[in-house]
């Protein structure tokens, strides 16, 4: 179980700050708490992990289940009609994939204009950062990583899921490779 930073009960103002930041496109700043209408205050933002095509990604602490997660806050300019519904369907499909080589998606939630998904937090880096840092990987290590990517893709394909954005930034490498 992941150890959390000092967590205190979030107040209404902290939760509202999260919504205002998300609605205006301003980055969420720790220790903002993101709420879910059905659970109340749920995730305390710890820090920024990066940016993706759909929005900002944050490391957060799940106040209910007591562990770290990654939150992807969907950009406010994403069409809330067809594009969001397609995104919702893709997430529903992704949840069917059970492989240690595929990131688990837990939930898609909305709170006012704030839309976010919670997913498995990987303590490590992406393949792009690893290659930038190490430039050349030994052949055996590169093959081991490549095999794991292939195992993940096979698991996805067996569930009818095609990864539409496979690139080094979307391959996460944990501390054990």
Q: Which of 6, 77, 165, 174 is catalytic?
A: 165
**Distance separating alpha carbons of residues 119 and 80, to the nearest angstrom:** 21
By three-state DSSP, how is residue 135 classified?
coil
24-33 residues labelled b (16+ CB within 10 A) or e (exposed): eeeebeebbb
Whether 177 is catalytic is no
For 124, residues 6+ apart whose C-beta sits below 8 A from its C-beta are: 172, 173, 174, 175
How many angstroms separate the CA atoms of 11 and 61, rounded? 16
Among all residues, which ones are annotated catalytic?
A: 165
């Amino acid at each position: 179980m992941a150890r959390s930073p000092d967590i205190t009960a979030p107040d209404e103002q902290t939760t509202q700050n999260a919504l205002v930041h998300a609605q205006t496109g301003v980055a969420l700043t720790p220790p903002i708490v993101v709420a879910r209408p059905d659970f109340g205050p749920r995730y305390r933002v710890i820090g920024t992990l990066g940016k993706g095509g759909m929005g900002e990604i944050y490391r957060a602490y799940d106040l209910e289940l007591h562990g770290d997660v990654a939150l992807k806050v969907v950009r406010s300019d994403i069409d809330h009609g067809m594009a969001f519904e397609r995104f919702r369907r893709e997430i529903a499909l992704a949840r069917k994939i059970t492989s240690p080589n595929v990131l688990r998606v837990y939930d898609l939630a909305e709170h006012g204009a704030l839309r976010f998904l919670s997913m498995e937090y990987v303590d490590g880096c992406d393949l792009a950062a690893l290659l930038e840092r190490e430039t050349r990987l030994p052949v055996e290590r590169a093959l081991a990583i490549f095999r794991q990517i292939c195992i993940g893709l096979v698991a996805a394909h067996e569930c009818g899921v095609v990864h539409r954005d496979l690139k080094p930034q979307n391959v996460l490498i944990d501390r054990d490779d």
